Chains A and B, each alone.
With several copies, the nearest count.
Chain A
Amino acid sequence: MKRMLVTYMTLGYPNLESFYQFIEKSVELGTDILEIGLPPKYAKYDGPVIRKSYKAVTSWLKDYITPLKEVRKKVNIPIIILTYLEDYLSNLDNFLTTLHEIGIDGVLFPDLLIDFIDEYEEYVSKIKGKGVKTVLFTGPSLPDNLIIKASRISDIFLYYGVRPTTGIIIPVSVDSLITRVRNLVQNKLVVGFGLNDFNDLRKALSAGADGVAIGTAFIEEIEKNGIQSALQLVKTIRGILDEYS
Chain B
Amino acid sequence: PRDPPDAEFSRIELLKKILPREVLRQQFTIERFIKIPEEVRDRYAIIGRPTPLMRAKRLEEYLDTPAKIYFKFEGATPTGSHKINTAIPQAYFAAEEGISHVVTETGAGQWGTAVALAASMYDLSSTIFMVRVSYEQKPMRKTIMELYGGKVYASPTDLTEFGRKILKENPNHPGSLGIAMSEAIEFALNHNFRYLVGSVLDVVLLHQSVIGMEAIAQLDELGEEPDILIGCVGGGSNFGGFTYPFIGAKKGKKYIAVGAAEIPKFSTGKYEYDYPDTAGLLPLVKMITLGKDYVPPPIYAGGLRYHGVAPTLSLLIKEKIVEWREYKEEEIYEAAKIFMKTQGIVPAPESAHAIKAVIDEALKAKTEKERRVIVFNLSGHGLLDLGNYESIRRRVEK
Residue of chain A at shortest CB distance from B9: A48
A47 x B12 contact (CB < 8 A)? yes
Contacts of A173 in B (CB 8 A): 25, 29, 31
**Is residue B299 within 8 Å, beta carbon to beta carbon, of the partner chain?**
no
The interface bits of chain B over 29-62 (1 if a CB of A lies within 8 angstroms of the residue's CB, else 0) are 1110000000000000000000000000000000
Residue of chain A at shortest CB distance from B15: A170
Distance, CA A44 to CA B22, complexed state (A): 25
**Is residue B5 within 8 Å, beta carbon to beta carbon, of the partner chain?**
yes
The interface bits of chain A over 133-169 (1 if a CB of B lies within 8 angstroms of the residue's CB, else 0) are 0000000100000000000000000000001110011
B25 x A168 contact (CB < 8 A)? no
**Is residue A172 within 8 Å, beta carbon to beta carbon, of the partner chain?**
yes
Q: Smallest CB–CB gap between A93 and chain B, Å?
A: 26
**Is residue A42 within 8 Å, beta carbon to beta carbon, of the partner chain?**
yes
A171 x B2 contact (CB < 8 A)? no
A48 x B22 contact (CB < 8 A)? no
B28 x A165 contact (CB < 8 A)? no
Contacts of A51 in B (CB 8 A): 3, 7, 10
A169 x B16 contact (CB < 8 A)? yes
* Given A48-B10, A48-B13, A165-B12, A170:B2 Cβ within 8 A: no
B25 x A44 contact (CB < 8 A)? no
Distance, CA A226 to CA B60, complexed state (A): 61
A168 x B13 contact (CB < 8 A)? yes
Q: Smallest CB–CB gap between A104 and chain B, Å?
A: 26
B12 x A172 contact (CB < 8 A)? no
**Is residue A176 within 8 Å, beta carbon to beta carbon, of the partner chain?**
yes
B5 x A170 contact (CB < 8 A)? no
Distance, CA A193 to CA B28, complexed state (A): 13
Contacts of A45 in B (CB 8 A): 2
* Given A47-B10, A48-B13, A172:B2 Cβ within 8 A: no
Contacts of A176 in B (CB 8 A): 29-31
**Is residue A69 within 8 Å, beta carbon to beta carbon, of the partner chain?**
no
Q: Smallest CB–CB gap between B120 and chain A, Å?
A: 26
Distance, CA A48 to CA B31, complexed state (A): 27
Residues 269-306 of B contacting A (Cβ, < 8 Å) = 283, 286
Contacts of B2 in A (CB 8 A): 44-45, 164-165
Q: Which of A41, A168, A169, A180 contacts B30 (CB 8 A)?
A: A180
Residue tally, chain A, CB below 8 Å to B: 21
Residue tally, chain B, CB below 8 Å to A: 23
* Given A47-B10, A48-B13, A164-B12, A172:B3 Cβ within 8 A: no
Contacts of B10 in A (CB 8 A): 47-48, 51, 165, 168
**Is residue A177 within 8 Å, beta carbon to beta carbon, of the partner chain?**
yes
B31 x A163 contact (CB < 8 A)? no
B13 x A47 contact (CB < 8 A)? yes
A165 x B3 contact (CB < 8 A)? yes
* Given A47-B13, A140-B30, A165-B10, A41:B25 Cβ within 8 A: no
A172 x B29 contact (CB < 8 A)? yes
* Given A41-B5, A47-B10, A165-B3, A170:B29 Cβ within 8 A: no
A163 x B30 contact (CB < 8 A)? no
Contacts of B7 in A (CB 8 A): 51
**Is residue B24 within 8 Å, beta carbon to beta carbon, of the partner chain?**
yes
Contacts of A170 in B (CB 8 A): 12, 15-16, 24-25, 27-28
**Is residue B1 within 8 Å, beta carbon to beta carbon, of the partner chain?**
yes
**Is residue B21 within 8 Å, beta carbon to beta carbon, of the partner chain?**
yes
Distance, CA A24 to CA B283, complexed state (A): 37
A171 x B30 contact (CB < 8 A)? no
A171 x B22 contact (CB < 8 A)? yes
A163 x B28 contact (CB < 8 A)? yes
Interface residues, chain B, CB within 8 Å of chain A? 1-3, 5-7, 9-10, 12-13, 15-16, 21-22, 24-25, 27-31, 283, 286
**20 additional A-B residue pairs with CB within 8 Å, beyond A41-B5, A45-B2, A169-B16:** A44-B2, A44-B3, A44-B5, A48-B13, A140-B29, A164-B2, A165-B2, A165-B3, A165-B12, A168-B12, A170-B12, A170-B15, A170-B28, A171-B21, A171-B22, A172-B25, A172-B28, A172-B29, A176-B29, A180-B31
Report 25 cross-chain contacts, Cβ distance below 8 Å, ordered by A residue: A41-B5, A44-B3, A44-B5, A47-B12, A47-B13, A48-B3, A51-B10, A140-B30, A163-B28, A164-B2, A164-B12, A165-B1, A165-B2, A165-B10, A165-B12, A168-B13, A168-B16, A170-B15, A170-B24, A170-B27, A170-B28, A173-B29, A173-B31, A180-B30, A180-B31
